[in-house]
Structure 1
Amino acid sequence: MTVQPPESSPNPVPPGDIRASHDDREAVVAHLRDAAAEGRIDLDELDDRLERALKSKTHGELAVLIADLPSRNPVEGRQPLVLRGGMAGTSCGPGRWEVPGRVIAYGGLGGVKIDFTRVECHFTEVAVEAYGEMAGVTIVVPDAWAVDAAGVDPGMGGLKDRTTPDRLPGTPLIRLTGSGGMGGVVVRHPNRRERRKLQSNPAQA
């Protein structure tokens, strides 16, 4: 008896059963942390969802964890800017650069500085994740911008928020999350030296 091979028309895998990648899990973790910072879920629920997110194997399992949260658009679909301090440190700005909807900074051993004073930003909110690690993260924002740093775990290095709440209409809000680590996280407006530089070269500070 001749056995006929099966027809090559397998059923497509449902979207929810597609295997999740590390990036998929990381995106959901960031979404959950932002939701906690906004007061949408409490810290106990955040811990529970984060644990489940890290153990999720499919898109469907991840989708359940954020189904009751608002969309992260326009942040969704755009690659975040990732800055790593490494051994020597790194910075973004001053000068003109286009801000994505999400920025992630790891202080490492050299530290990270993010300067938003001369940026081009098309978002009403910018999600910034800052992890001070050993050397810390410093964030400089224009006077007209405001910062919500409620989502930062101070850690050993602490959080120093030296900004004012006087946000002008139409200017971005920095939604800050992350942890201070050993080096801490500092968010502030320009200091005197930076202001002098801005005034002496207003076109390209």
Structure 2
Amino acid sequence: MTTDFRKATPWSEQRASHADRERAVRCLQQATVEGRLDFHELDERLEQALGARTHGELAVLTADLQATEGEGRDAEPDRPPVLRGGLHGAVRKGRWKVPPRLTAYGGMGGVVLDFTQADCRLRTVDIEAHGQMAGVTIVVPDDWSVDTDRIEPGLGGITDRTTPDHAADAPHVRLTGNGGMAGIVVRHPKPRERRRLERERKALASG
């Protein structure tokens, strides 16, 4: 008779796979980017995570950091959407519906928020941006206005390349947050991006 060890063994005592350990490592690294762990704690936990044999051992290392595991997940109803650059970066572009408020953490990979093709029916959009190690880039249409006065520059600073000319009924972006190490850049589309947008517009018009 064959014994089903998975049914007989509690989850916490079941053997962890390489993928399980890698998920724990990503969680710990993201927590460090967000300031939840310092580098000494990171080193200690990484060593334990890489040597963990069971799910229970991994769970102990990340139990107080579960909020960092939902990288890129939808926000709770009472909280604004959050984009996290993490290790590999995050990009929001193309056709997407703009919420009244959103938050971006550059992390180690950076975040790009591109509003040039977004569906925005709001007069005001509040963005909380934290440049952290890789920065946050925000691209807005020519007729949008941007207020950067409430950003804390940090080491990386805030670079505003938008023009003062904007339509009176166009959306207005209010930025808060901190430039961090890499800074925050706000700009209009570059020439190459404009050409791509024009090609896409003509393709849609031609059906």
> What TM bracket, shorter-length normalisation?
0.5 to 0.7
Q: Please name the residue that 1:159 is paired with.
A: 158
Whether the 8 Å contact between 1:78 and 1:101 is mirrored in structure 2 is: no
Any idea what the Cα deviations from partners look like across 1:32-83, whole Å, max 9, x if unmatched? xxxxxxxxxxxxxxxxxxxxxxxxxxxxxxxxxxxxxxxxxxxxx7641210
Equivalent residue number for residue 176 of structure 1: 175
Q: Which runs of 4+ in 1 moved over 4 A?
A: none
Cα 1:86/1:164, change in 2 over 3 Å = same
Task: Name the TM-score, length of structure 1 as normaliser.
Answer: 0.60
Question: If each structure's helix is expressed as a fraction of its own residues, which one has the higher value?
Answer: 2
How far does residue 169 in structure 1 lie from its aligned partner after superposition? 2.0
Question: Which sections of structure 2, spanning at least 5 residues, go unmatched?
Answer: 1-76
Structure 1 counterpart of 2:51? none
Letter aligned with residue 180 of structure 1: G
Q: Matched residue pairs, number?
A: 127
Report the TM-score when normalising by structure 2: 0.59
2:87 paired residue number = 87
Distance 1:152 1:90 in 2: 21
Q: Does 1:115 align with 2:114?
A: yes
Deviation at 1:166, TM superposition (A): 1.1
CA separation of 1:98/1:78 partners in 2, compared to 1, >3 Å: closer, same or farther? farther
Report deviation, 1:122.
Answer: 1.7
Letter in 2 for 1:120: D
Indicate conservation of the 8 Å contact 1:111/1:137, yes or no.
Answer: yes
1:43 aligned residue:
none
Q: What is the CA–CA distance in structure 1 between the aligned matches of 2:169 and 2:78, rounded to whole Å?
A: 22
RMSD of aligned Cα (Å): 1.4
Q: Which runs of 5+ in 1 are unaligned?
A: 1-76
2: distance between equivalents of 1:78 and 1:146? 26
Q: Deviations over 1:74-122 (max 9, x none)?
A: xxx76412100000001000x1100000010000000000000011112
State the distance in 2 between where 1:198 and 1:79 align: 32
Distance 1:102 1:189 in 2: 20
